[in-house]
Homo-oligomer: A and B are copies of this chain.
Amino acid sequence: MKEHERRTMEGILFTDQYQLTMAQLYYRAGLHERTAQFDHFFRNYPDYGMHKAGFCINAGMDWLLDWMTGLHFRSEDITNLRSQTDSRGKQLFGDDFLGWLEKGFDFSSLTIRAVGEGRVVHANVPLTVVKGPLAVAQILETALLNFLNFQTLIATKAARIRESCDAQMLLEFGLRRAHERGANAGARAALIGGCDYTSNVGVSHVLGFVPKGTHAHSLIQTFLALGNSEEDAFQAYADLYPDDCLLLVDTIDTLESGVPNAIRVFEKLKKRGHKPVGIRLDSGDLAYLSIQAARKLNAAGFPDTIIVLSNNLDELVIWQIVTQIREEAPRYGVDPERLMKRLVYGVGTRLITSTGDSSLGGVYKLVGIEDGPSWRPAIKISETPEKTPNPGNKTVWRVYDERGKATVDLLALEEENPGDWDKVKLRHPSDHTEKRVLDKAQISKIEPLLEPVFVEGKRVADSHSIETLRQRREADVAQLDPGIRRLMNPHIYHVSLSEKLWNLKQSLIESMRRSG
């Protein structure tokens, strides 16, 4: 795409057609500036097939707000829309409506509350609440979902991989397999979710990270094609980067050629007063090869060089590698715990595309609309009761139990404050038989989750550093019950409604069934 085309595709027209046809209808009906409220939430945790997430990591808001800042319908956008015709050839969007889009449409009329980036979030909990003129909030839907669905998906996958690799360094390597420009948002989300660094140069510089990477097989191939050896290639690399010497050892034969050649080069580096960094393994049985490479490195006096593993890694593959090393290393006289502490994981495709479940099904639902002096809650009944969204203007509270573990996310009406209650009554969102009551003694903390992020067109919070978001993630994950953190068959975290919200929901369902 060319630059002016990019501006068209990535500006306000980064939306679905039906947002605009609906907006015109609201405009003509005089409803376009009615205050409405939409909730954004996802219904299901990512399900990777054999395994499933028990929690997600919220991400993407900062870049959404960047996108919204100053965004408007440019005259080129209006020209494009004016060119659309209906099936009789008449202009589809009237000049009155186009005039309003160009002059009257403004994201600064919106107010957005949201759960912070980096926080643990759960299914069916509003993560973002958008309030403002109906047509403006409606037109925001597609981009909001696009930005937030994807970064949350990837931050979640990264958090799972982080769980499987303990405190070891984790690198994001997926740029070449990412969904085109989504690579950058994906790298950011990976950093929030648990990666330490990324190989992606541009995004690293923008976010204040050092990009990571050394060399590829092609370096060795070039030297070989020109009549030199693998060792020559390693030596050239070591000469140029004596203090950052990390060598990819699997171009010819990992144990017969790569590792011995690397050791020879490391020995020369050591004599010259440099500390070799390590090796990278990119094929074969990574657990077995890392044990054998460690043996050779240990024997040669390099017990601390790191071993970077890459090649289609994800949380389960890493889990398998760790398990295999625990079992197999002692047989070869290698201490598994020491070996594991020198491992670094490079994760590409399976993180950046969230292999197994490549999308998060976040939705954006109308929950209320202003009607003169009053406020009308909105609902959509689904044939599956769990899919009927929770109506009205809500707040979300996270309740921590006496151990300090998060035990439930409570959805309540805006005017309620469960912090003041003696007992917290919890209603299941759809099953009327399921109730639970928490005494004050069972609760160590009740915390509101939604915070204003955009008020009357102004960003309220400064954008946070990735480091801050990571700290939030770590703190939140540590406060999860181990059953929720489990990589496979996690427990389902409780999300409940307050009694008042439950009653509102029931009365709306009944009145809608009567009208239906």
Chain A interface (Cβ < 8 Å from any Cβ of B) = 1-2, 5, 8-11, 13-22, 24-26, 28-29, 31, 36, 38, 49, 63, 66, 80-81, 83-84, 86-88, 90, 92, 134, 138, 141-142, 145-147, 149-151, 173, 175-186, 199-206, 210-222, 224-227, 229-230, 236-237, 240-241, 243-244, 251-253, 256-257, 277, 283-284, 349, 353-355, 358-362, 365-366, 368-369, 371, 376-383, 512, 515-516
* Interface pair B175/A179, CB less than 8 Å apart: no
* Interface pair B236/A10, CB less than 8 Å apart: no
Which residue of B has the minimal Cβ distance to A28?
B240
Name which of A1, A201, A365 has the most chain B CB atoms within 10 A of its CB. A201
Copies in the complex: 2
Q: How far, in Å, is A42 (CB) from chain B's closest CB?
A: 11
* Interface pair B134/A222, CB less than 8 Å apart: yes
* Cα-based distance from A427 to B25 in the complex (angstroms): 64
* Interface pair A177/B221, CB less than 8 Å apart: no
* Cα-based distance from A443 to B63 in the complex (angstroms): 56
Which residue of B has the minimal Cβ distance to A257?
B516
> Which residues of B have CB within 8 Å of A222?
26, 31, 36, 134, 366, 369, 378
Q: How far, in Å, is A324 (CB) from chain B's closest CB?
A: 18
> Which residues of B have CB within 8 Å of A90?
243
Q: How far, in Å, is A41 (CB) from chain B's closest CB?
A: 13
* Interface pair B180/A147, CB less than 8 Å apart: yes
* Interface pair A146/B349, CB less than 8 Å apart: no
Other than the given A146-B175, A179-B180, 11 more pairs (CB < 8 A) read A8-B206, A14-B175, A17-B212, A149-B177, A150-B179, A179-B179, A180-B182, A224-B378, A225-B376, A252-B512, A354-B358
**Option from B36, B83, B211 in Cβ contact (under 8 Å) with A17:** B211
